[in-house]
Structure 1
Amino acid sequence: MPLPRLPRLHLPVSAVLAGACLAALVSAPAGADTPGSAADRALQKQLEQLVRAPGGPPGVIAVLQRGESRRILRAGVADLDTGRPVEQSDHMRIASTAKAFSGAVALRLVDRDTLALEDTIGRRLPALPSAWHSVTLRQLLTHTSGLPDFSRSPEFLRILTADPHHTFDSRRLLDFVADEPLMFRPGSRYQYSNSDNIAVALMAEAATGKRYEELLRRLVYRPLRLHETSLPQGFELPEPYMHGYDVPVQPPAAPQDISELIGASGVWASGGIVSTPRDMTRFIRGYAGGALISRATLREQRRWVDGASEPAGPGKNKAGAAIFRYTTRCGVVLGHTGNTPGYTQLIAATPDGERSLTFSLTTQVNEATKPRLLKKLREVEENFVCALLRD
């Protein structure tokens, strides 16, 4: 979930240590994550280049999995103060990849006939503005709803800027834009909006009478064995975690640790989940591969429209129901991206779920803040997809 750049924090990060850690490659332990082949060494070099790039992440980890075989490549560190290496068990903010989780909840409820893709806001959430009542669950999941984005509301931004740890009522986030009309006729075009997945979670709650957090546990975490994933309300991250940084493009300013800059209550179903690379690998293999839903619902999920994730993923992007299709020069993967202060994410898998890529950075990269780095990142991501798909 992209959020505006908040005032820089003046935290005690050692510039000398930062420089040393950014230039160093973390030595991988012997085993599955030892880059032995020429192809893996080439990929490893690209991760090092990302870490050394202007504004680049202090740490990056990529998990490539084919069947039961897993390769882990990483560069930089999880914590600039200690020099600790990045691990696949490290917690991190998953940003807008959390939208895929809300999609998983909604589509599982569709399979159970508890929700329908043509259910409207008017039917499930009649207290929301009448101008929004014709918007369907399908349009929310495909970002074709026209709902105004609460995260761009001046009042929301004022509160967040004044107190980044402010505790919002997650179920009232749409109140920030309740007096605004739809941005366009529902279904007429694509526009990414953080409001969409808030409404999805509220519709799931209305249909079941259960809290969204409980629905996540029952419908997603348990069947996929996600033991390190949660949706908190506060700003603290569970140990151990990858530290997220605000990294200036221009030296000599040092990276600032913003891991716990903002709480999750103000992003909730749109971007508040905390997870690990290990759990995210399990999730995307199950979600993209259709393990959670029927073939009929899977076909509905994969009705593609023109639209890119935020930030854009590798190759050419198309939008489905809480999932994106990334068509690269080497083939197609399905997944989601995300960015939030301190973190950038890509999760992707082949349509059968047999091959997957989890790619996590410890700084925020998007078109608005670091367009040159985003271009480089997408190139590297595509190279990793090609390595994943190569026989």
Structure 2
Amino acid sequence: MLSAAVQRASERRADTGLQAAVIVDDGTIWRGVAGNADHGDDDLLTHDHHLYIGSVTKFFTATLVMRQVQRGAISLSDTVDEWLDLEYAGDVTVRMLLNHTSGVPNYTGDPWFTTRNVARPAKRWRPIELVDIIRGKSLDFDPGSRHRYSNSNYVLLGILLEQLTGSSYGALLGDFVRAELGYDRTYYLDYPDDAPIANAYDESVFNLGRRELTAFRTTLETSAYAAGGILSTAPDVASFVRSVFDGRVLDEDVLSQMRTFVDAPDEDVTTQVEYGLGIRHLRIDGEDLYGHTGTIPGYSAIAMHHDQPTYTIAVIGNVSTIDQAGICGALQRIVLDEFY
């Protein structure tokens, strides 16, 4: 049933490559795959392929930050001026960056940024260049007064982590996710040269049909950074999300802080009700789910956890605009029917 649901979702989007994973209450993990890794040659997507997870990266970044909170290296109430050189850094706290209440403008909404990405597909962005896009711009609102999603918040958190630890974001991720937890197919930039990566496709630009974006990989992954640049697989993502919510990664009081939410309706994610510290709270078919969604040009993802009964669902596709909530909901209905 689960395999058939993934296959149907792929076929509805002209054989979009979809990789899925479901973890049920006893820890059993189901893996599924459908569609094409390369739509030009009709090469099938496999369990071995890696895909970019877009803003599901934020869940990973937030967890890395909360680990530093747990160690006492920083506090959620700390202002970020000690680590970040921005004129308003003394008014913005770590918590505000994590839950998008900082008011920091979104660098990916800047027309110059988009133009440069299109014009220079091989550009390797440095994190400070992303900050320079918003440097000198006014805050969108008073820090802490409301919620507005901004990728800039997580670029700043990535830089904060690097300043705090002396390690690169990719090294921090690898040391924690691969070396410590054993989810060894999750990377930021440091993936092996021979890692199979599914080609990237987009259908949203100027209604020109499906266009391959694989040539833009370098500029897309480096410009997404700690906000959206992680490369992974559905089983790795589901396993990581499950390990966080199971309490294997963070102490109970720290996880409780991570699950402190603000009202956050989102016109781009219509199933969202609240936002925590790197956690979207979605309501799909009446069920409360916690995790994150992700969209980066060429890829789309969703990773969600349900508390009781316990199950975790992750889906990644190699087209920018898969129906994240629809696919998650379809898998959820089968999980509830078959396992609970």
- TM-score by length of structure 2 reads 0.88
Q: Which residue of 1 aligns with 2:9?
A: 50
Is residue 342 from structure 1 mapped to residue 298 from structure 2 by the alignment? yes
Is residue 223 from structure 1 mapped to residue 180 from structure 2 by the alignment? yes
- 1:179 maps to a residue whose letter is G
Matched-pair identity in %: 25
- 2:52 maps to a residue whose letter is R
| 3-state SS in 2 of match to 1:266 | helix
Say if 1:168 and 1:310 are closer, same or farther in 2 by CA, change over 3 A.
farther
Q: Which residue of 2 aligns with 1:118?
A: 77
Structure 1 unmatched ranges of 5 or more: 1-39, 366-372
Output one character per residue of 1:123-169: Cα deviation in whole Å (capped at 9) or x when no partner: 332x222x232111111110111101112223322321211221221
Structure with the greater alpha carbon radius of gyration: 1
CA deviation after TM superposition for structure 1 residue 303, in Å: 0.8
| 3-state SS in 1 of match to 2:294 | strand
Q: Which residue of 1 aligns with 2:155?
A: 198
Is residue 387 from structure 1 mapped to residue 302 from structure 2 by the alignment? no
Is residue 94 from structure 1 mapped to residue 53 from structure 2 by the alignment? yes
Q: Which residue of 1 aligns with 2:289?
A: 333
Q: Which residue of 2 aligns with 1:358?
A: 314
**Match among 211, 214, 218 for residue 259 of structure 1:** 214
- Note if contact 2:51-2:317 (Cα within 8 Å) is conserved in structure 1: no
**1:165-314 equivalences in 2 (<5 Å):** 165-232=122-189, 238-247=194-203, 255-263=210-218, 264-307=221-264, 312=269
Q: Which residue of 1 aligns with 2:117?
A: 160
**Aligned-residue CA RMSD in angstroms?**
2.8
CA deviation after TM superposition for structure 1 residue 76, in Å: 1.8
- TM-score by length of structure 1 reads 0.77
- Note if contact 1:326-1:332 (Cα within 8 Å) is conserved in structure 2: yes
CA deviation after TM superposition for structure 1 residue 227, in Å: 1.0
CA deviation after TM superposition for structure 1 residue 201, in Å: 1.4
CA distance in 1, matches of 2:135, 2:91: 15
CA distance in 1, matches of 2:272, 2:105: 26
- 1:361 maps to a residue whose letter is G
- Note if contact 1:285-1:349 (Cα within 8 Å) is conserved in structure 2: yes
Say if 1:161 and 1:82 are closer, same or farther in 2 by CA, change over 3 A.
closer
Output one character per residue of 1:34-92: Cα deviation in whole Å (capped at 9) or x when no partner: xxxxxx1xx55544443344x65622232112133233333322222443332233111
- 2:212 maps to a residue whose letter is D
CA distance in 2, matches of 1:275, 1:172: 25
- Note if contact 1:344-1:360 (Cα within 8 Å) is conserved in structure 2: yes
CA distance in 1, matches of 2:215, 2:109: 21
Q: Which residue of 2 aligns with 1:74?
A: 33
CA distance in 2, matches of 1:266, 1:246: 17
CA distance in 2, matches of 1:200, 1:292: 19
| 3-state SS in 1 of match to 2:23 | strand
- 1:155 maps to a residue whose letter is W
| 3-state SS in 1 of match to 2:117 | helix
Output one character per residue of 1:150-203: Cα deviation in whole Å (capped at 9) or x when no partner: 122233223212112212212331111111011001111111101000111122
